[in-house]
Chains A and B, each alone.
Chain A
Amino acid sequence: MTNIIEIINSKTSVKEKEILSEAESYKTQKLNDARTKGKEVATAITKKAEMASHAEVSRYEASAKLKSKYQLLDAKEVLIADVLSSARTHLEELVKKKAYEKTLEKLIIDAAASLEERNLEIAAPKGHTSNIDLKAIEAAVAKATGKKTTFSISKEEVRATGGVIVRNKESTRWVDNTFEARLERFESEIRDTISSILFVTKEKKE
């Protein structure tokens, strides 16, 4: 009988151990899984934050660089405007000088060559027509174009710092060679020229 009781006790002990051992195994496995899951969750959260942070910083960096680019362009624009202002001042001074006669002659010849008309009229700003020697101009145009052209001075006063408007008698064709018109017409070339002189370095040219 003692033997039977011992067997029962022994089997019970084994079963007990099995039950507790299984529970401990479950615990170990569960905690290991939880640690793995915890790491995964943490990695996902930090990675997401990292990406968001990186994207935000990149966006901000790009925006700051763009802002910087605009600031550089603004600074260049100020320098270009300064050059244009100096050029305007120079032109305002030029019309008071003797050399202006040659300038007008050149602008008239340039216009006449484009128009290719026999009779042309010249309109200039108030007081500037005194700088125009029609005979000299007719001779210069004939020499430049190989054609005889007759010029007359219009009574119309042009609103401009300097230069002339040259047109045919019918006023159907004309060339506006006032300083302002030329500045507007050649604006793109002028700005390119200023930029290439002021901002293109020797290394870049090469």
Chain B
Amino acid sequence: MCAAHDEIDQIHESEKAANMRIEDAQKKARKIHEGADEEAKMIIKAAEREAKDTATRMLSDIESRKVEIESSVFKETEKRIKKIQDSAQKKRDDAYQAVVKIILGEA
């Protein structure tokens, strides 16, 4: 009878220990879950932060791009104006004589 009690007690102890192990495992699992949730949030935030930095760089690069455009268009315009002026200079006399003819009714 006493031996049987002891055995039942041992089984109870084992069950108790088993429950505690399961509880511990569940605690660990919860921590893993919580850690994973936190880490996931950090991953998203980090990606977001990095992308925002990239976006800021992109937008600040616009100013230098604008300067490039301004300079390139200005140079091209100056070149074209010079070309037009040089070409027009050669035809200036023809042009004003044509105007005179129109005004004098000779055209």
Measured between beta carbons, the chain A residues less than 8 angstroms from B99 are 83-84, 87, 190, 193-194
The complex places the Cα of A189 from the Cα of B101 at a distance, in Å, of: 12
Please tell me which stretch of A25-33, A125-133, A134-142, A143-151 contacts chain B, meaning at least 4 of its Cβ atoms lie within 8 angstroms of it: A25-33
Please tell me which stretch of A56-64, A116-124, A166-174 contacts chain B, meaning at least 4 of its Cβ atoms lie within 8 angstroms of it: A56-64
Chain B interface size range: 35 or more
- Cβ contact within 8 Å between B73 and A46: no
- Cβ contact within 8 Å between A11 and B103: no
- Cβ contact within 8 Å between B32 and A27: yes
Question: Shortest CB–CB separation between residue A113 and chain B, in angstroms?
Answer: 11
Measured between beta carbons, the chain A residues less than 8 angstroms from B96 are 83-84, 86-87, 90
The complex places the Cα of A49 from the Cα of B56 at a distance, in Å, of: 8
Interface assignment of A107: CB less than 8 Å from any CB of chain B: yes
The complex places the Cα of A34 from the Cα of B48 at a distance, in Å, of: 11
Question: Quick one: closest A residue to B3, CB to CB?
Answer: A1
- Cβ contact within 8 Å between A68 and B104: no
Q: How many residues of A contact B (CB 8 A)?
A: 73
- Of B17, B81, B95, B106, which contacts A83 at CB under 8 A? B95
Q: Which residues of B contact A (CB under 8 A)?
A: 7, 10-11, 14-15, 17-18, 21-22, 25-26, 28-30, 32-33, 35-37, 39-41, 43-44, 46-48, 50-52, 54-56, 58-59, 61-62, 65-66, 69-70, 73-74, 76-77, 80-81, 84-85, 87-88, 91-92, 94-96, 98-100, 102-107
Q: Which residues of A contact B (CB under 8 A)?
A: 1, 4-5, 8-9, 11-12, 15-16, 19-20, 22-24, 26-27, 30-31, 33-35, 37-39, 41-46, 48-50, 52-53, 56-57, 60-61, 64-65, 67-68, 71-72, 75-76, 79, 82-84, 86-87, 90-91, 94, 103, 106-107, 110, 177, 179, 182-183, 186, 189-190, 193-194, 197-199, 201
